[in-house]
Amino acid sequence: MQLFYAPDIVPPCHILTEEESRHCIRVLRMHQGDTLNLTDGRGTLYTARITSADARRCAVEVIERQEDFEKMPYHLVMAVAPTKNIDRYEWFLEKATEVGVGEIYPLECDHSERRAIKPEREMRVITSAVKQSLKAYHPVLHDMTPVRSLISMPFDGRRFIAHCDRSTGERPYMGDILKKGENALILIGPEGDFSPEEITFALANGFEQISLGYQRLRTETAAVAATVMVSMLNSLK
């Protein structure tokens, strides 16, 4: 199945963007009468038929739609500090999208080595992963957010901070305490970890401190591991 991203689609007719049209007609060599799939990124999967095989303005007509296509039974928000090497952060964005995530917050922390990202570039990474993994839900990418501001925001679910500071007491393994169907907000710090002040502030504001296992993980590895863990917990019968 070939999936195209069409956030502005208004059925029954739609014109693909020039980039999507070129990919459809020139790369995939699709023709008038062929069928393809589109998503608005908000959970609707459309099946459409090509009515004009124009490599710049490919026109399609919707013939079927599915609401809430493969909707996850939980809402996951990953708040992760961008890595110094942006390729590693983009790897996280790609893999988290493939596994399943609702929102992503790039975090600005006391120990951050990167305090800015290029939203348009990162959105392209996410959109590409949405199409490749056949997702009907496009994760929301927020602006760079100071960690204390995010900690102070309301959230309808459980809130966790994963860190490596053993002086703060017991850090239970997240897989042992998160329950199936629970919404989760998970903080993953920069390569230098969260500062003691950030951890104290999070715990004072209702966050639960957790461990992701015995291994010491890179930022992007920890973020993907947490995303996969939540997905696996929700896949259990």
Q: Where do we find the tokens 């010491």?
A: 216
Task: Report the DSSP beta bridge partners of residue 186.
Answer: 78, 160
**Looking at per-residue confidence, does 213 or 185 come out higher?**
185
Instruction: Indicate the DSSP class of residue 8.
Output: T
pTM over 0.85: yes
Residue 237: pLDDT band by 50, 70, 90 thresholds?
Answer: low
Domains of the chain: 3-66 (2.40.240.20), 76-235 (3.40.1280.10)
Find the helix or strand (DSSP H, E) in which 151 lies: helix 147-152
Could you give the 3-state DSSP secondary structure of residue 34?
coil
Are residues 197 and 110 in contact, defined by beta-carbon separation less than 8 angstroms? yes
Please tell me the predicted confidence (pLDDT) of residue 189. Answer: 97
